[in-house]
Amino acid sequence: MVTAKIAPSLLSGDFARLAEECERMLGLGADYLHMDVMDGHFVPNLTLGAPIIKSLRPHTKGFLDCHLMVSNPEQWVDDFASAGADLFCFHYEATEDPAALIEKIHAKGMKAGMAIKPKTPVDVVYKYAPTLDQVLVMTVEPGFGGQSFMSDCMDKVRELRSKFPELDIEVDGGLAPENIEVAAKAGANVIVAGSSIFKASSPESVISLFRKTIQDVQAAA
């Protein structure tokens, strides 16, 4: 059975204190550190890149779950591997040869993830899923934090879980205490959350709630 993994999105953290924010999240129970990489081309915004991952790596032993919302992700595999990324997640929509890219990521010693936008049909993932370490189903349009959770994307999660019971399925976008049960029941086990964790009065309680909800749903299945 897949296990619950909670991945706070550092996009909602204090970039001036990034290393401290990473260690704080790990101390509060986070499993992954979700790093949102945006190039200003594939998505409108511009955020962090490989140099920041490289500078951060010596300061944390946390699992760096790097979500690349970039055009031509192939060009960044070597840089992110050298920087110390643990998982390189590219968008299906951004590459013409997902199979070759997955192979390249693995050859560099990283785990490989594939993300799909809300309007991309889930069946595009099926042929690649056996070679992927994680699939990310976006529950908002990529590129901006603070958007509302799109519950209709849960149909994709359900289909993926039914076909690939041992696959790590990540959801990202608008996840919060009020909708975590919906995501958990659909089959998501890796939860990315930014605002709902970082802006909470007790981030630790939110992380704990996410984990317990997934575990309770799995126990009841």
Task: List the one residue out of 90, 142, 127 whose CA is nearest residue 111.
Answer: 90
Tell whether 109 is in a known binding site: no
Residue with tokens 């390249």: 104
Tell whether 41 is in a known binding site: no
Tell whether 201 is in a known binding site: no
Tell whether 36 is in a known binding site: yes
CA distances from 22 to 46, 128, 130, 137, 184 (A): 20, 31, 31, 23, 25
Tell whether 194 is in a known binding site: yes
Tell whether 146 is in a known binding site: yes
Residue 21 token pair: 């924010």
Tell whether 71 is in a known binding site: no
Verify whether residue 39 is a known catalytic residue. no
Task: List the one residue out of 163, 148, 151, 78 whose CA is nearest residue 137.
Answer: 151
Residue 52 token pair: 């920041």
- Contact of 66 with 38, CB cutoff 8 Å: no
Task: Report the distance separating Cα 118 and Cα 151, nearest Å.
Answer: 10
**Residue tagged active-site, from 31, 36, 39, 168:** 36
**Residue tagged active-site, from 79, 123, 172, 216:** 172
Tell whether 67 is in a known binding site: yes
Verify whether residue 155 is a known catalytic residue. no
Tell whether 123 is in a known binding site: no
Binding-site residue ranges for a divalent metal cation: 34, 36, 67, 172
Active site residues: 36, 172
Binding positions: 9, 34, 36, 67, 143-146, 172, 174, 194-195
- For the annotated binding site for substrate, the residues are 9, 67, 143-146, 174, 194-195
